[in-house]
Structure 1
């Protein structure tokens, strides 16, 4: 089975499993787990922040950041299709009791002027940026774009949090240090699974004061008292040592995957817009709806995700090599060829030329 649903489908390496078995566990909640302490120190340094705290998931870390900066009924500006709004069970409203102020951007990159206007109009307390932007297809925010967006918010006293679940992908795509992408933000989180292949866990970084407050929020959410966190942290340390340099391979294979899919009749996408490891393919012209195509592909040995009513999502990761890309393209092509239905364009049941001519005569 070739699993392209998400980079979450990757698994730890043997070196990570061995590190987890060897980990000398301590009481992480009171700062006595060496692996957790080392991991937080390493990530803080990579992100250019004074401090960091481990969290079980990136979603929990994002929620902790929201609670760190905001009080109930505060406004939070974020992109309309951001992960915090669409994929984190609306913790922003149901737990944080905050008011989202969404701003639509087709490619996930909000306009700084529009951000500044919205922040000012609703007196937002926090701006959330997502880098890379998942639902937009793994699009990246450059250093300058991040700086401009942060400046637009901070001009009105608004703080900035970066949901950097895939920030390592953005850094690899742009060939810039992680710290440069994180610099304009008051807090930033990175995921240790996804492209890094650790079993689970995330690290939230910021100033000493921000991290101290975030640690308190994580404790309230049940994350800071996660016992035996050193098992996951030990794998996270290996991930930092061994996985960062190979992320670019995922991007190269995603572009190859996109190029192959673009050759399949009825599948529409532009390979040149694939920036990282996420590929969105429009399959509407095949006559097979994504909800029908996904199980057909799974039966044939390729797992993909239904993105919406017209598109499927495919994500490359450590377990997807060049051979898997070739097999996936061939399999998808075969399934589409076998099940495709020609698009039927309904015939007009009236003489539009006659109606147009009559309309022109009436106007005269």
Structure 2
């Protein structure tokens, strides 16, 4: 059986152009700064996001963890939204790697109230931890791929300047946010001091992310990457995919958003579900009856549809390049069958 895989955009396969680029990639030892393909990817990524320098890392989690290590010291405090990826899905890395504690703020669809952010900043004093970083996530995964408003990011940035606290943006899907807003990604990134974005999600690379920021920040981040075991050698073979992704795969993300909108238009009329209109390529679907998410997932799988869940009451569907518009129509048929059988 061929499965329609809507679990995540991480399941995307590299394109033929990427595979060819991997084969032909010019390589060197990145540990010595001598891999020309890695260097080119880092340069292109930095320019695209309006920053001075970039650092190729093996994953988005590594990029976020390197940023935390670079901006903070053990015992510091980091302000972040209570369902952010760094807090929720990175295996306790902020505590285990950086020795910092989170100050969690409940957000509305990923948006922390401005007044709560400023209130969370610790006063100076011997009994308080130092507030050393504010973290934003755009798009916000657990909020259903929601895009942070640009004006909101500007307001947070102004607070950060007022208190001399840097901002790190977990921009794993920043290009989805840019497509939604109709602006270049650098217009989002300018309201953060460092940005991590993933190559391995909607951009379809087999692995990798890039962390960007000032030259000084990236120089120290490179040392922190080494601490995490992320020193690379002939990494040009995978960095080559990233170059193709930045040149070819960003504009096509609009198709993923259209697929998600198509699926939303179907799901919103199913009475057992409550679904929020997607900004991007992630659908968050709440179950309104006394059935657990895993029960739906098991039934979907029987018919050839793969999805995942945020929790027992909430399903998640993610569109991407390897799911066609025809696949979306088939997915709708499967969901309808399961709905009928449950009803």
Single out whichever of 98-107 and 288-297 deviates more from structure 2.
Answer: 288-297
How far off its partner does 1:94 sit? 1.5
Local SS of the residue matching 1:256: helix
* More helix, by proportion: 1
TM-score, with length taken from structure 1: 0.90
Counterpart among 97, 100, 120 of residue 98 in structure 1? 100
Unmatched segments (≥5 aa) in structure 1: 341-364
Q: C-alpha distance in 2, partners of 1:120/1:298?
A: 49
Residue by residue over 1:52-76, the C-alpha shift from the partner in whole angstroms, topping out at 9 and shown as x without a partner, is 1100011001000001010001000
Does residue 124 of the first structure (1) align with residue 131 of the second (2)? yes
CA distances 1:144-200 after superposition (whole Å, capped 9, x unpaired): 211111221231121110000000100010011111101121111110010100111
Q: Could you state the TM-score of these two structures normalised by the residue count of structure 2?
A: 0.95
Q: Deviations over 1:210-229 (max 9, x none)?
A: 00010000011011x22231
Are 1:284 and 1:311, in contact at CA under 8 Å, matched by a contact in 2?
Answer: no
For residues 72-124 of structure 1, the C-alpha deviation after alignment (integer angstroms, 9 at most, x for no partner) is: 01000000000000001010012211010010013001122211111245641
- For the 8 Å contact 1:77–1:100, the answer to whether it is kept is yes
1:353-364 correspondence to structure 2 within 5 Å: none
For residues 10-68 of structure 1, give each alpha carbon's deviation from its aligned partner in whole angstroms, at most 9, with x where no partner exists. Answer: 11001101111111221011111111011000000001001111000110010000010
> Is 1:126–1:161's contact at 8 Å kept on the other side of the alignment?
yes
For 1:264-343, list aligned pairs within 5 A: 264-270=270-276, 273-285=277-289, 287-340=290-343
Asked if 2 retains the 8 angstrom alpha-carbon contact of 1:120 and 1:156, the reply is no
> Aligned runs of 1:72-91 on 2, under 5 Å?
72-91=74-93
- Once the two structures are superposed, the pairs formed by residues 235-250 of structure 1 within 5 Å of their partners are 235-250=241-256
Q: Which residue of 2 aligns with 1:111?
A: 113
In the TM superposition, structure 1's runs of 4+ consecutive aligned residues that sit over 6 Å from their partners are none
1:220 and 1:251 map into 2 onto residues whose CA distance is 38
1:195 alignment partner, SS class: coil
CA distance in 2, matches of 1:197, 1:227: 22
Contact 1:288 1:339 in 2 (8 A): no
1:255 aligns with 2:264: no
Judge which range, 24-33 or 209-218, deviates more.
24-33
CA offset at residue 283 of structure 1?
Answer: 2.0
Query: Could you tell me which residue of structure 2 aligns to residue 206 of structure 1?
Result: 213
Farther-moved stretch of structure 1 (7-16 vs 111-120) = 111-120
Count of aligned pairs between the two proteins: 336
Q: Indicate if the aligned counterparts of 1:196 and 1:244 stay in contact, CA closer than 8 A.
A: yes
**Following the alignment from structure 1 to structure 2, what is the Cα–Cα distance between the partners of residues 307 and 116?**
29
- Return the structure number with greater relative CO, CA threshold 8 A, min gap 6: 2
| Cα-Cα RMSD | 1.2
Asked if structure 1 preserves the Cα contact closer than 8 Å seen for 2:69 and 2:97, the reply is no
2:177 alignment partner in structure 1:
170
Q: Measure, in 2, the Cα distance between the counterparts of 1:228 and 1:283.
A: 47
- Candidates 217, 232, 256, aligned match of 1:226: 232
Q: Equivalent residue of 1:275, what SS?
A: coil
Give unpaired runs (5+ residues) of structure 2: 124-128
Match of 1:16 in 2: 18
1:182 to 184, 189, 193: 189
